[in-house]
Amino acid sequence: MQTAMMAPGPIAPSDFYTGLVAELYRHLRSETFEAEPYARFVERSGEPALELGCGDGDPMLDLLSRGLVVEGLDSSADMLDRCRSAAAARGLDVVLHHATFEEMDLGERYRSIYLAGATFNLLPDDETAGAAMGRIAAHLHPDGSALIPLFVPPAPTEAEIGSVRERVTQDGAVMRVTVLEVVRDEVARDQTTELRYESIRGGDHHVVDRSWRLHWFEQDRFAAMVADAGLVTRSVRSANGGSASRDDTSFSFVVGPAPT
């Protein structure tokens, strides 16, 4: 058995999605993303497109397979390596960028920028999120749009502590993630979940403990952040695609440059 020490508190996504966690991500992720909504967004908003937080390639590779011009960006080098491998296995040419949202400087403008799922919630605080919005604004074509899904995580329940998500691969390997603890700060709008990742293959048992941090935004607060970045909010959509209500805890902002 090999065990990695628990990281001292929350770490950046670039360090979270590494090693064993990157390896197990596809097997243990709690959400998958269908290509269709993002393909429709890119078809409406235009190409080229940029997927922020592309990870190991979902749904970006499906959009590429449809002939859409989409590039990917992620802060985790390990996840980008897995994306390149997945693209090669499908015979797809892929353009990938290794950078954080708040520091990206790609020398390109995109007609479509989107995140698949609420990856923006992984940014640790308002300052970093504001910087990321500024970089999104700098990379948007004057006629372009950005799609940014967000959510307010529900308060943890006692039943969640100790809960396990497990998958067994075709070759019999057991992959598992366990919730050890959840700490929530309503004032700071932060929720940190202590997770234990395990891979059991034959006599090899690998364990990594990581802290997964979420930072959330109410709709009004995020709309102000959009405006501060010099962008305008074009719509706020609910999870089912309609107009979001004030009570929705999952919603997507569609934003773009201010008219000139």
Q: Per DSSP, what are the bridge partners of residue 200?
A: 174, 205
pTM of the model: 0.92
174: its two tokens: 């057991």
Residue 31 above 60 pLDDT? yes
pLDDT of residue 88: 98
Q: What is the pLDDT of residue 10?
A: 66
Cα separations (Å) of 35 from 117, 147, 208, 258, 260? 12, 14, 31, 28, 33
Helices assigned H by DSSP within 90-164: 126-139
C-alpha span between 122 and 108 (Å, rounded):
24
Q: How confident is the model at residue 5 (pLDDT cuts 50, 70, 90)?
A: very low
pLDDT score of 240: 84
**pLDDT at residue number 126:** 97
Return the minimum-mean-pLDDT range out of 29-33, 55-59, 133-137: 29-33
- CA-wise closest residue to 26 among 89, 88, 74, 86: 86
**Digit-coded pLDDT (tens) for 132-155:** 999 999 999 999 999 999 999 999
Helical packing angle, 77-89 and 19-28, nearest 10°: 50
Please state, in angstroms and as integers, the Cα–Cα distance from residue 60 to each residue in 85, 147, 252, following that order: 14, 14, 18
- With cut-offs at 50, 70 and 90, classify the pLDDT of residue 78: very high
Instruction: Please tell me the distance from the alpha carbon of residue 151 to that of residue 137, in angstroms, as a whole number.
Output: 21
At 121-132, the pLDDT tens digits run 999 999 999 999
Tell whether the model's pLDDT for residue 6 goes beyond 70. no
Q: Is the pLDDT of residue 229 over 60?
A: yes
**Is residue 253's pLDDT more than 80?**
yes
Rg (CA), the chain: 19
Answer whether residue 8 shows pLDDT above 70. no
What CA–CA distance (Å, rounded) separates 63 from 34? 10
Mean pLDDT on 178-194: 96
Model pLDDT for residues 188-220, shown as the tens digit of each residue: 999 999 999 999 988 899 999 999 999 999 999
- Predicted pLDDT of residue 14: 83
